[in-house]
Structure 1
Amino acid sequence: MKSTIFIINPQAKNGYCKKVWKKVERVLQNEKISYSASWTEYSGHAGKLARSYAEQASGQRLCIIAVGGDGTLHEVVNGAAMYPNVTVGFIPGGSGNDFSRGFGIPKDPVAALFAILKGTDHETVRTDVGMIRHTGENATYFINNMGAGFDAQISEKVNRSKIKGLLNRLSLGKFVYVLFLIKELFVYRCSALEIEIDGKKQSFDSAWFVTVSNQPFYGGGMKISPDANPFDGILNLTVVHNISKVKLLFVFTSVFKGKHVAFKEVAVLQGKTIRIFSSHPIPAHADGEPLGCTPLTVSVCGNAIPVILKKQEEVKEMNSK
């Protein structure tokens, strides 16, 4: 029999996730469903909890449900990535929730719970993940996307900002990324990038950023990579380069609908193994979480993690719209 464990981040969306969990817990109790629950106490704790539970399962089937934002899920994925007996689920309780958008998870937490519990309309699907390696460091996995450059700097500023909490309380959390985008636009220093994709090198002068995507969405709903598919064994790249600050703003105003790919300064590429070098070290992120700096190597891990989702066909159809 599969055990079910919920890992809840009480700090997600400035504490709103506590209310989310109360709704979920009430349903679990009313339905008399057996489960265990743990609360995270610090950054990185969700990953440690997931790894600990996976080890304790000793190969027995285990379902770990992350309750929080994309950062919480990122930690759980990294904790569970090396354990094939672990299935991952997600109940959105954060401000960005890009995983929900890209993988067809209902926004409502109770609906998300029933999607997890229901076996007829939803299923366990093995999804791709990306793996990032630094020189001399362990692997970091991502399920949504990773990036290096301008977007990573924005993510770092957003995560450290007190304004994020204020906007979350006003239900305006999705605008915090746009706010810092405009602020950092005038201070960020572009770099030259050399990107090697499956052994073929490409160079970009004055690059703002490169994003490597497993699914279309990032940054709280931006459709950065419209064609990204988490089931195809391929990672999709978006490189923005040789573009003025003013025109970059136009690019970002079009990114929510995925129209930015029409700009000549936006390169759209894909591959399985990507090596990223820059003229000077630039910050990187994985699923919006700080990762260090370039250089780094990114590769796809096909069908790596079983995740409770809508059927693959439904997710593909939804992302094509």
Structure 2
Amino acid sequence: MHYSIIINPRAGNGDAKQVWQTIKSHLDGANICYDYQLTKENGDAEYFSRRVSQNRQVQTQTVIVIGGDGTLHDVLNGLIKAAPNSSAQVPLAYIPVGVNNDFAKGYGISLDPLKALQQILNAKQARRINIGHYHDAIKNQDQYFLNNLGIGFDAAIISRANGQSGRRRPLSRFGFFRHALGVLYNQQQSFTLMVQRQGSREFFKKAYIVIIANHPYMSGHLQITPTAKLTESSLDLIVAERKNWLITFWQIWKFTHGKLADSRFATHYRGRDFHCTTTSLEFAQVDGEEVGNQFMDLLISTSSYPFYQQSQD
């Protein structure tokens, strides 16, 4: 097996630099064949992964990402765009060094770098896992995601949390709740959302929480729904409408405790295809990264990608 390693040295507030040195020493000591690239700026991870796919020399090759969920997201998209045909896709593996490490928790990857590496080295074959895909009809762009896609509320929380500190830290449940109330009080307005699925259409006139999830974990500690699994070809869509302050407070409490999907104050869909549109400019996030303020016209579906790594589960 040959490993092509893409490292984001800024991940984990710079912890990835030391992690890479530890991993490198272990690989060299075991005479494992590898090459590596260090990212320096935004876009590098996707660019490097495209090059790996386009210049693939051997079939027994795997791309290892050392970084956070954002780096993993970029590498995944680069690999798929370079090789959309599933038979030509280079398998992925992951050593998490991010702030939240949502995908590692959803997949079952150790947060100890050497244990995560051993999960890769012990793997005997790749297995395909479910990933999300969306087509932005306004921009005519396609993107893939591993964790979740959010419109409105959670994107505003991510923006608020990132903007208050130059050093990113995982949010505690209390911290998330505090930011949530701040967003609702100062920023977040409800918006009109249309959801189309299986020939039906539903309008939400005061939507403010819109989450499309591929697995339960979000923001490092939240389990937003217990039903989403990487091993199943489906996604969970959770929509909550803003009511009076008492009900809104209850919704946020349910959200931070992973129980909103089962609440009577939210609508929970499960399926493979959704079409979500808004009539106003809204913020969005994909795999924990902000994607800007825009009208939403998203055709969301499932796909799959090979991962060459054992799970702790």
Same fold (TM over 0.5): yes
Unpaired runs of 5+ residues, structure 2, are: none
Q: Specify the code of the residue in structure 1 equivalent to 2:195.
A: I
| Amino acid corresponding to residue 92 of structure 1 in structure 2 | P
TM-score (norm 1): 0.86
The one-letter code of the counterpart of 1:232 is E
The 1-side partners of 2:120 and 2:48 are apart by 20
Residue of structure 2 equivalent to 1:184? 183
Partner residue, 2:43: 44
The reply to whether residue 205 of structure 1 matches residue 205 of structure 2 is: yes
Q: Does residue 152 of structure 1 match 2:155?
A: yes
Moved more, 69-78 or 9-18: 9-18
In the aligned structure 1, how far is the partner of 2:127 from the partner of 2:55?
Answer: 23
- Answer whether contact 1:24 1:110 (CA < 8 A) is retained: yes
Q: Could you list the per-position Cα deviations for residues 248-268 of structure 1 after superposition, in whole angstroms to 9, with x for gaps in the alignment?
A: 444344445522233211211
Task: Say which is worse superposed, 77-86 or 141-150, in terms of deviation.
Answer: 77-86
Residue 164 of structure 1: CA displacement? 5.3
Q: Which runs of 4+ in 1 moved over 4 A?
A: 176-179
User: Offset at 1:80?
Assistant: 0.9
| 8 A contact 1:272–1:300 mirrored in 2 | yes
- The answer to whether residue 122 in structure 2 is matched with residue 118 in structure 1 is yes
Q: 1:254-294 CA deviation, whole Å, 9 max, x = no partner? A: 44552223321121102222111123121122111223433
1:163 corresponding residue in structure 2:
165
| Secondary structure of residue in 1 paired with 2:45 | helix
**What are the residue-to-residue correspondences of 1:1-321 with 2, within 5 Å?**
2-57=1-56, 60-82=59-81, 83=83, 84-119=88-123, 123-134=125-136, 135-159=138-162, 161=163, 163=165, 165=167, 168=169, 173-175=170-172, 177-186=176-185, 187-292=187-292, 293-302=294-303, 304-310=304-310, 315=313
CA contact (8 A) 1:147 1:212 kept: yes
Q: CA deviation at 1:162?
A: 5.4
1:101–1:221 contact (8 Å) kept in structure 2: no
Structure 2 CA distance, aligned partners of 1:15 and 1:177?
23
Distance in 2 between residues matched to 1:182 and 1:23, nearest whole Å: 41
How far apart, CA to CA, are the structure 1 residues paired with 2:113 and 2:252? 29
State whether residues 123 and 309 of structure 2, in contact with CA within 8 Å, keep that contact through their aligned partners in structure 1. no
Given that 2:261 and 2:267 are in contact with CA atoms closer than 8 Å, whether structure 1 keeps it comes out as yes
- The Cα shift of 1:58 comes to 6.2
- Aligned partners of 2:105, 2:198: CA distance in 1, in Å? 29
SS of residue matched to 1:232: coil
Could you list the per-position Cα deviations for residues 19-78 of structure 1 after superposition, in whole angstroms to 9, with x for gaps in the alignment?
Answer: 221221221122221111111111221111111111111684431111111101100110
Alpha-carbon separation, structure 2, partners of 1:131 and 1:15: 30
For residues 252 and 235 of structure 2, what CA distance do their matches in structure 1 show? Answer: 21
Partner Cα separation in structure 1 for residue 297 and residue 58 of structure 2: 32
Distance in 2 of aligned mates of 1:250 and 1:58: 55
Which whole-Å CA distance do the structure 2 matches of 1:27 and 1:149 have between them?
Answer: 43
CA shift at 1:179, angstroms?
4.8
Report % sequence identity. Answer: 27
Q: Which moved more, 1:149-158 or 1:242-251?
A: 242-251
Residues 270 and 59 (structure 1), Cα distance of their counterparts in 2 relative to 1, 3 Å cut:
farther
Cα shift at 1:136? 3.7
Q: Check conservation: 1:8, 1:68, Cα contact below 8 A.
A: yes
Partner of 1:319: none
Distance 1:11 1:245 in 2: 40
Structure 1 distance, partners of 2:2, 2:80, is: 17
The 3-state SS of whatever aligns with 2:36 is strand
Q: CA deviation at 1:177?
A: 4.6
Structure 1 Cα separation of the partners of residues 249 and 44 of structure 2: 36
The answer on whether the counterparts of 1:148 and 1:282 sit within 8 Å (CA) in structure 2 is yes
d(CA) in 1 for partners of 2:115 and 2:210?
A: 35
Distance 2:243 2:258 in 1: 18
Give 1:112 shift.
0.2
- Structure-2 change in CA distance of 1:162 and 1:152 (3 Å): closer
Name the count of aligned residue pairs.
303
Deviates more, 1:110-119 or 1:275-284: 275-284
1:130/1:298 contact within 8 Å kept: no
Q: Secondary structure at the match of 2:99?
A: coil
Q: Partners in 2 of 1:68 and 1:54 — Cα distance?
A: 19
